[in-house]
A and B are shown apart, each in its own frame.
Chain A
Amino acid sequence: MADSREPPPLFNDDDDSRKDDDNDDLFTSAVQSPVSELTTPEDQTKQEGAGDPLTSPPPATSFPPDPSGGDRPDLFESCEEPSVGGFSSVPLEQPAEGGGTQQVSTDAQDPPPTPPTTPSVGSLVEIPLIVDTDQDLQPSTSSSSSLTRPDFTLFDTTPDTSETPVSSPDILSPPTTSNTSTSTTTSAQELSASPPSSSALLDLSMTLPQELSSEPPANLVDASSVEPAVMSSFITPAEEASVLDAAAPTNDDDDDAAAAAAIPTNLAGEDPALSSEEALVTVYDSETPEDPPLPASNILPPMGAPLTPPVAPITPTATPNLTPNVTPAAPTPVTPVAAARPSAEQLESESGDEFIEISISDPQKIGDGMSSYMAYKVTTKTNIPYFRKKHWSVTRRFSDFLGLHGKLVEKHLHSGRIIPPAPEKSAIGTTKIKLGSDKSSDSSSTDFIERRRASLERYMNRTAAHPTLRSDPDFREFIELDAELPRATQTSALSSAGVLRLFNRVGETVNKMTFKMDESDQWFEEKTQQIENLDAQLRKLHAAMEGLVAYRRELATSTASFAKSAAVLSSVEEHSALSRALHQLAESTERTHTIHHAQADADFYHLSETTKDYIHLIGAVKDVFHERVKTFQTWQHSQTMLAKKREAKAKAELAGRMDKVQQAQDEVAEWEAKVERSQEEFDRISRAIKKEMEQFDIVRVKDFKDMLVKYLEALMTSQQQIIKVWETFLPEARAIS
């Protein structure tokens, strides 16, 4: 599974830590687990059960609070990445002290947490396993797809683990490496696109290192037999976001099984360890295509049917980010939640000092003809600890940016995050450049490149400004990995994916138009209205700005041509003083031309482009809102289904057909769970959106202020330059005699 890619820096760090520490295996396993943290009530419950026997009694008590909705809000608020992570992940980690902490560290990539992890292997091991299972649920990772493990396995394993701690660590170790290259990511996206998750399946997810996977096939089979609903939502181990995504899919209950089934084969690969301990299925994420040592794999949650029901709702909660924070707390198994909160706060406060600045430079044409492309140098400066360096550069091509955006959307849209839109593809502009013999051959293509460069830069910085998005492994890989990224094939408008996307979009549009949601939340009602108004107004404003830019350019051009003409006139003029004055006039107007031109650029880059960005951002906001509506629809659907099932049950009872009653009873229970889950999901996304919008509003207001101030400053500079120009001209005019 591990690809040839270089491991992302993050991973590397992990690796180093491992080496330092004796328990490399543990680390790795830990890593995995955090990633895939699951937060299903069931898991919690399981954990409780498992935890008691295994290691620490306290965890059980502590857990319940986490899963409970009450805790969540806090977590959400505290961590910018609201949704998932808070709950389940936290509790899990804590119980498995060593493993948990380590995991956290890896996920969070925070250096501090790692050291503590080392401790007791055996107990740790057990815990990690549990954790892994959780993780598995969420992440049906990219490359391999998702595996399903039977729940029962988990249970079994837990008790077993104590006995065979060693083996478990081994198993665990591989996970970090597994982060897959592009292929994985793509698969992940696909997965997310098609909601694979069955709620039940989601509950237990295990991420196993590749090695582990080798043996598990048998297990897999078992799992399948068990009928675990497997969730194939993938997650890059480190990310909470991914977890969230996974949660989202869970709602759609139906599809999962099939997806899950597919995965197992991949898994089969290697691990003896797994076999020994667990029947759990692990899915590897091949996202980090690197050395074997770093297996960052996300484990898919195998669902044992039994486990599933309670667990499902919880699943969404796990957030990798949280976990890292949590880790420090981990040593004390007690009240994981409490520990988590402070950590979250820390995050926030930290984020205030954190800075990351990305600049795009040196656009370069690579290749010839239609197969050529533009490459850009992406330079990052940051003080965020999980980046390996403070300052570095990589080279990326335009489609890489689009690919990154696609990945982020796949992973984070479900959880209600506003994902900054990537610059648009421009077939005309691109073709022009491709066919153009050399760069800078004509001004329109240089303009185009510069515009694109600037918009890429804004895009990257917007994305980097979002704490969740910037810690996304794909994002980090994008800015850190000093090698070519796998070609993003999904971005081309003509590719099959493009066509598919088009269809999806048409479907969505129809859905948007036909489905009118009864808005119960006044906040959303107002916000939706405001966003609509904002959209319309921004468009209008943007048109006005475009007009201004065009007119100012025209002014600059006509000023330049007047300058030329005045120069001719001055050469014709026979009166020498007047001729000199006219010549001076020509020069002055030439200079004003330059000023106007620069001002037109300022009009464009300060005003027009920022406004355009916001029009697109508003589009992203609408997408998020729509995502919520979809969640709502799922919920409604579940309710209708539940009603139907109840009716069927009542009928069956009336008819006195006891065999059917039993079946109906099961179905009712199943749908009740689904309703509960989807409602929870809906609440979650609503909260996440509110949180996101709050941030969005703040940033927007700030951006607009900055934009206007900058623009006014530019205007003022222009006027000052004009003053200078005419001040030098005036004596010349006076000198005419």
Chain B
Amino acid sequence: MMDGMEEVLHSETNGTKSGRSDTVDLNDSTLQVDISDALSEREKVKFTVHTKTTLPDYNKPEFSVVRQHEEFIWLHDRFDENEDYAGYIIPPPPPRPDFDASREKLQKLGEGEGSMTKEEFNKMKQELEAEYLATFKKTVAMHEVFLTRLAQHPIFRTDHNFKVFLEYEQDLSVRTKNKKEKVEGLFRSINRSTDEILLAATQKDVDDYFEKEKGFLLEYHAAIKDSTLKADKMTQAHKTGVADSYIKLSTGLSQLGTIEGPRLEKFINKVSDTFEKARKVEGRVASDEDLKLSDTLRYYVRDGSAAKDLLYRRLRCLANYEQANKNLDRARAKNKDVHAAELAQQNACERFEHMSARAKEELNSFKTRRVAAFKKNLIELAELELKHAKAQAQLLKNCLQALQEE
């Protein structure tokens, strides 16, 4: 069944890409990146990354390559580890494609096949397929957003690794981190977070703006994380709970109609049809809420986290700068290596100031971006909710009318 689904996905994603790429608005056409196609092959998802550019560095104005999720992560890590980009908010990496939930459900459904009617089973299967498709589309969208943001950023888009990622036709043959690297990575991140906590506790920021920003981001991150969690729960309850119960209700009713015979059958069948349709609407409500609300929230959890990282890096930089100052003082006192210390202090100062300026810009753009994204998505959410609610109300009204005519 999964194989069949892949076929569907193949074509479906094509059809929806235009709708997807507007998640981040870009007016500038120097480098346009989108994912034109995606194919799910067993565990892997292959994304076809399509690029259109006017930049002279690129050999051709338009080309496509096939990339996998791991390569996206590799790209992200290249940015993340590059000292030059320390002053920027690195776009958060896309989440790993995760279809386990869908697969699991599918398996459960298969096991429970005996306990339900064929009709019910088919409907459930359809529902699962739709869910799988939605997850798939979301995954693709996340990967695309990542690339789009890079392409849009005046500094990032000129990055060499990015160019390679977009242009190199062969497999990048990135491998997932081996054990040693993983341990190192773990160690580093522990190191980093202790450092972060330490800095947060000891380092006094010289700039109120950043101090404030830091406080905000911390709070914001916690709040939005919570909201995301709750929103997910809500859509989940809506989708797998309410919408799926409508299926059972609808089939249960139509069987009842059969048993009841002519007196009730027609009546009940109408109701059953209505439930079937209502369930589709409810399902759409749930997936639209998921797409417009949860996903926006989710994205800004990650983006906020990236912004927090930036603040950390800046704070680290500040600490370094102050250390350099101390070193300079000490050197002067000892009158030894003064020049080197001066140089170091100057470097650190420059670095810090440069970084602070960058970070300020970045944070402002983060804010603008966030507000714009929320606005857009909230409006869309409201419109979709309205649309579905109206559709359902109309559906029910029609049904009631039809019943009255009986």
Interface 1/0 per residue, B246-267 and A, CB below 8 Å? 1011001101100110011001
Binds A, one of B70-78, B136-144, B373-381: B373-381
The chain B residue with its CB closest to the CB of A544 is B248
Binds B, one of A215-223, A453-461, A630-638, A704-712: A704-712
Contact indicator A558/B237 (Cβ below 8 Å)? yes
Binds A, one of B178-186, B216-224, B307-315, B341-349: B216-224
* Residues of chain B at interface, number, CB under 8 A: 57
Contact indicator A548/B393 (Cβ below 8 Å)? no
Determine whether A723 belongs to the interface, using a CB cutoff of 8 Å to chain B.
yes
A541 touching B256 in the complex, CB below 8 Å, given contacts A572-B219, A577-B371, A715-B396: yes
Determine whether A573 belongs to the interface, using a CB cutoff of 8 Å to chain B.
yes
A533 touching B216 in the complex, CB below 8 Å, given contacts A541-B249, A558-B230, A562-B231: no
Contact indicator B386/A727 (Cβ below 8 Å)? yes
The chain A residue with its CB closest to the CB of B222 is A572
Determine whether A511 belongs to the interface, using a CB cutoff of 8 Å to chain B.
no
Determine whether A568 belongs to the interface, using a CB cutoff of 8 Å to chain B.
yes
Contact indicator A701/B371 (Cβ below 8 Å)? no
For A704, list chain B residues within 8 Å (CB).
260, 264, 267-268
Question: Which of these, A581, A705, A726, A737, contacts B389 with CB under 8 Å?
Answer: A726
Interface 1/0 per residue, B381-406 and A, CB below 8 Å? 11101100110110011011001000
Binds B, one of A116-124, A258-266, A728-736: A728-736
The chain A residue with its CB closest to the CB of B248 is A544
CB distance from B286 to the nearest CB of A (A): 9
| Interface residues of chain B: helix, strand, loop or mixed (majority) | helix
CB distance from B19 to the nearest CB of A (A): 19
Determine whether A156 belongs to the interface, using a CB cutoff of 8 Å to chain B.
no
Determine whether B241 belongs to the interface, using a CB cutoff of 8 Å to chain A.
yes
Contact indicator A537/B256 (Cβ below 8 Å)? yes
Determine whether A722 belongs to the interface, using a CB cutoff of 8 Å to chain B.
yes
Q: How far is the CA of A130 from the CA of B392 in the complex (A)?
A: 69
For A729, list chain B residues within 8 Å (CB).
382
A719 touching B223 in the complex, CB below 8 Å, given contacts A565-B230, A733-B382: no
Q: How far is the CA of A701 from the CA of B264 in the complex (A)?
A: 6
Q: How far is the CA of A722 from the CA of B387 in the complex (A)?
A: 11
Counting chain A CB atoms within 10 Å of each CB, the highest count among B278, B393, B397 belongs to B393
Interface 1/0 per residue, B329-358 and A, CB below 8 Å? 000000000000000000000000000000
For B236, list chain A residues within 8 Å (CB).
558
Contact indicator B396/A719 (Cβ below 8 Å)? yes
Q: How far is the CA of A541 from the CA of B267 in the complex (A)?
A: 16
A540 touching B383 in the complex, CB below 8 Å, given contacts A574-B216, A712-B400: no
Residues facing B in A633-681 (CB within 8 A) are none
Determine whether B35 belongs to the interface, using a CB cutoff of 8 Å to chain A.
no
Question: Which of these, A578, A697, A723, A726, contacts B393 with CB under 8 Å?
Answer: A723
Counting chain A CB atoms within 10 Å of each CB, the highest count among B230, B263, B390 belongs to B230
Determine whether B234 belongs to the interface, using a CB cutoff of 8 Å to chain A.
yes
A548 touching B242 in the complex, CB below 8 Å, given contacts A565-B227, A713-B400: yes
Q: How far is the CA of A723 from the CA of B390 in the complex (A)?
A: 7
Contact indicator A575/B237 (Cβ below 8 Å)? no
Interface 1/0 per residue, B353-376 and A, CB below 8 Å? 000000000000001001100110
Determine whether A371 belongs to the interface, using a CB cutoff of 8 Å to chain B.
no
A555 touching B237 in the complex, CB below 8 Å, given contacts A726-B382, A727-B386: yes
Contact indicator B396/A712 (Cβ below 8 Å)? yes
Determine whether B245 belongs to the interface, using a CB cutoff of 8 Å to chain A.
yes
Interface 1/0 per residue, A543-583 and B, CB below 8 Å? 11101101110110011011011101100111101100110
Determine whether A530 belongs to the interface, using a CB cutoff of 8 Å to chain B.
yes
Contact indicator A568/B386 (Cβ below 8 Å)? no
A537 touching B252 in the complex, CB below 8 Å, given contacts A558-B234, A562-B234, A733-B379: yes
Determine whether A716 belongs to the interface, using a CB cutoff of 8 Å to chain B.
yes
Determine whether B25 belongs to the interface, using a CB cutoff of 8 Å to chain A.
no
A533 touching B367 in the complex, CB below 8 Å, given contacts A572-B223, A705-B264: no
Contact indicator A585/B245 (Cβ below 8 Å)? no
Residues facing A in B63-99 (CB within 8 A) are none
The chain A residue with its CB closest to the CB of B238 is A555
For A720, list chain B residues within 8 Å (CB).
389, 393
Contact indicator A736/B371 (Cβ below 8 Å)? yes
Contact indicator A561/B230 (Cβ below 8 Å)? yes
Q: How far is the CA of A276 from the CA of B314 in the complex (A)?
A: 118
Interface 1/0 per residue, A526-544 and B, CB below 8 Å? 0000100110011011011
Contact indicator A715/B278 (Cβ below 8 Å)? yes
The chain A residue with its CB closest to the CB of B233 is A558
Contact indicator A568/B226 (Cβ below 8 Å)? yes
Residues facing A in B252-306 (CB within 8 A) are 252-253, 255-256, 259-260, 263-264, 267-268, 271, 274, 278
Contact indicator B252/A540 (Cβ below 8 Å)? yes
The chain B residue with its CB closest to the CB of A593 is B234
Question: Which of these, B231, B233, B259, contacts A530 with CB under 8 Å?
Answer: B259
The chain A residue with its CB closest to the CB of B397 is A716
The chain B residue with its CB closest to the CB of A569 is B223
The chain A residue with its CB closest to the CB of B243 is A551
Q: How far is the CA of A705 from the CA of B226 in the complex (A)?
A: 44
Q: How far is the CA of A730 from the CA of B246 in the complex (A)?
A: 28
Contact indicator B371/A575 (Cβ below 8 Å)? yes
Contact indicator B375/A554 (Cβ below 8 Å)? no
Contact indicator B379/A708 (Cβ below 8 Å)? no
CB distance from A43 to the nearest CB of B (A): 42
Question: Which of these, B245, B378, B399, contacts A548 with CB under 8 Å?
Answer: B245
Q: How far is the CA of A575 from the CA of B389 in the complex (A)?
A: 30
Contact indicator A533/B386 (Cβ below 8 Å)? no
The chain B residue with its CB closest to the CB of A592 is B385
Question: Which of these, B223, B252, B374, contacts A565 with CB under 8 Å?
Answer: B223
Q: How far is the CA of A585 from the CA of B231 in the complex (A)?
A: 12
Contact indicator A565/B382 (Cβ below 8 Å)? no
Question: Which of these, A564, A578, A701, A730, contacts B382 with CB under 8 Å?
Answer: A730
In the assembled complex, 13 residue pairs joining A and B whose CB atoms fall closer than 8 Å, in A order, are A537-B256, A541-B253, A543-B248, A552-B245, A554-B241, A569-B223, A572-B216, A577-B371, A704-B267, A709-B400, A713-B396, A734-B375, A736-B371
Chain A residues with a Cβ under 8 A of chain B:
530, 533-534, 537-538, 540-541, 543-545, 547-548, 550-552, 554-555, 558-559, 561-562, 564-566, 568-569, 572-575, 577-578, 581-582, 585, 697, 701, 704-705, 708-709, 712-713, 715-716, 719-720, 722-723, 726-727, 729-730, 733-734, 736-737
Beyond contacts A551-B242, A558-B234: 11 other A-B pairs, Cβ-Cβ < 8 A, are A540-B255, A547-B248, A551-B245, A555-B242, A565-B231, A568-B227, A569-B223, A575-B367, A723-B393, A733-B375, A733-B379
